[in-house]
Structure 1
Amino acid sequence: MNEPVYTYRLATTDDAEALQAIYAPYVDTSITFECTCPDVEEFRKRIEERVCLYPYIVCEEDGVPVGYAYASRLFTREAYAWAVELSVYLSNTCRGRGLGRALYDRLLKLLEMQGVRSAHGKVTEPNEKSDKLHLAMGFRLVGVMDNVGFKLG
């Protein structure tokens, strides 16, 4: 059996449909605080808005998107432009293969070249896999926000 071939590239708005399909299952979990899955057109708009400021990377397996990661502003005021929030999403079929780390590695290198000073991952607890990924990549806990999101009962 051949090992899958993964390639990484910058996202374009043409990826909206594939990336929305990867994201959709997460809406039924507490991993995202979004309660309704955005449609493809909204996804396209979000990609377009984000790529103007920060990297948005797609991982493909044999030419098919199986994951993506992007950075977005941590806060809206201008002085916060050098602090970002990271997001990574993987297809259900590709979890546990190191792709989240590979996407983060590439994203963080590009952000460093852009002069970004700090990158943050917001994790809904409990989420052992995400905690392990962030700790393994050198992130540290900087705070806990209690009772800020209510979803799934």
Structure 2
Amino acid sequence: MIRPMRPEDWKAVSKIYKEGIDTEHATFQTDCPPYSAWDASHIKECRLVVLDGARIAGWAVLSRVNMRWCYRGVAEVSIYVGEEFRGKGFGYHLLSALCREAEQAGYWTLQSTVLQDNEASRRLHTKCGFRLVGRRERIARDCHGRWLDTYLMERRCPADEPPGYNRL
């Protein structure tokens, strides 16, 4: 089951986020921020969790790419699946639901930055209609000093004006 994320989900959401940080394949973040900082940096709508029974198996949210008005329909995806739930289809269902919800909210472009060593994430995004639009070589160093590339993946809404376009 997929449902909107609630503030009281933060304990489970932050645990899954920390698991992603620990892989060193999901994000350049090295620490999980407090809820107030995390909440302020993500769009309030289009926050989803996927459940395995009563347990949160993963989460997905959007962030603004640029605060300028002309980019109001462009958002960046963050998606994380808990370690014990990976490879079971939760990511696909969660990202598909996030894409549908984002279109209903008026977003016309979703993008995701995928670290070079995260092949599973690239496959997931491709399966959900994202395409590779660029590779940023040696864009950042990991915590061991190794240069890393990132891949920019993008999904465009099929309609020029998604259903919720006038609400943005």
Mapped pair 1:34 → 2:29: yes
The partner residue of 1:20 within 6, 14, 20 is 14
Mapped pair 1:50 → 2:42: yes
Does the 8 Å contact 2:43/2:64 carry over to 1? Answer: no
Task: Return the alpha-carbon distance in structure 2 between the equivalents of residues 11 and 26 of structure 1.
Answer: 18
- Post-superposition offset of 1:50: 2.8
Give the equivalent residue in structure 1 for 2:159: none
Does the 8 Å contact 1:50/1:72 carry over to 2? Answer: yes
Give the secondary-structure state (helix, strand or coil) at the position aligned to 1:123: strand
Give the secondary-structure state (helix, strand or coil) at the position aligned to 1:88: strand
Which structure 2 residues correspond to residues 71-90 of structure 1 after superposition, within 5 A? 71-90=62-81
Question: Alpha carbon RMSD of aligned pairs, Å?
Answer: 1.6
- Post-superposition offset of 1:130: 1.2
Mapped pair 1:123 → 2:114: yes
* Identity in percent: 28
- Post-superposition offset of 1:36: 1.9
Structure 2: runs of 5 or more not aligned: 145-168
Higher helix share: 1
Structure 1: runs of 5 or more not aligned: 1-6
Task: Return the alpha-carbon distance in structure 2 between the equivalents of residues 137 and 99 of structure 1.
Answer: 12
Task: Return the alpha-carbon distance in structure 2 between the equivalents of residues 51 and 72 of structure 1.
Answer: 5
Normalised TM-score (structure 1): 0.85
Task: Return the alpha-carbon distance in structure 1 between the equivalents of residues 13 and 56 of structure 2.
Answer: 7
